[in-house]
Copies of this chain bind each other. A is one copy, B any other.
Amino acid sequence: MKTTVLSVHTGARRAVFDLTSEVTGFLSSVGADDGLVNVFIPHATAGVAIIEVGAGSDIDLIDAIDVILPRDERWRHRHGSPGHGADHVLPGLIAPSISIPVVGGNMSLGTWQSVVLVDPNSDNEVRSVRLSFLRG
């Protein structure tokens, strides 16, 4: 298996970060042909998703998370900044692992799909992302 770990600078922004070009570059660098690429986030307060970016849906997703998992005092997990307990529930709903078919060296994404890191946690400046290619 070809595998590597990226560092993504997320700063204090609560946002979605597009990883598509990093995954594409990884597949090219390992000479991928046909198989599955797995994107894995080794953190307990972030997830990975495939959504459209650039037309507002990335911000819509963060806003939706804040309604679904309110940043208030309800959480048993109380470390970190206020409402941070919500970040620890997030990976239950937006998992830290997703696999994408690779055909002829390219991810078989639809036109409007991007692979994104979902990171509503402002406490971590840098995130790791593991990319792994399994030949089919």
14 pairs of residues in contact across A and B, judged by CB atoms under 8 Å:
A3-B108, A38-B101, A42-B109, A44-B57, A51-B91, A55-B79, A56-B75, A57-B75, A57-B77, A64-B89, A92-B94, A95-B95, A101-B130, A132-B136
- Among A7-15, A21-29, A110-118, the one that faces the other chain is A110-118
Query: Which residues of A line the B interface, CB within 8 A?
Result: 1-3, 34-36, 38, 40-44, 49-52, 55-57, 59-61, 63-64, 68-69, 74-79, 85, 88-89, 91-101, 103, 108-110, 112-113, 118, 128, 130, 132-136
Q: Do the beta carbons of A44 and B88 come within 8 Å of each other?
A: no
Q: Which label, helix, strand, loop or mixed, suits the secondary structure of the A interface? A: mixed
Number of copies: 3
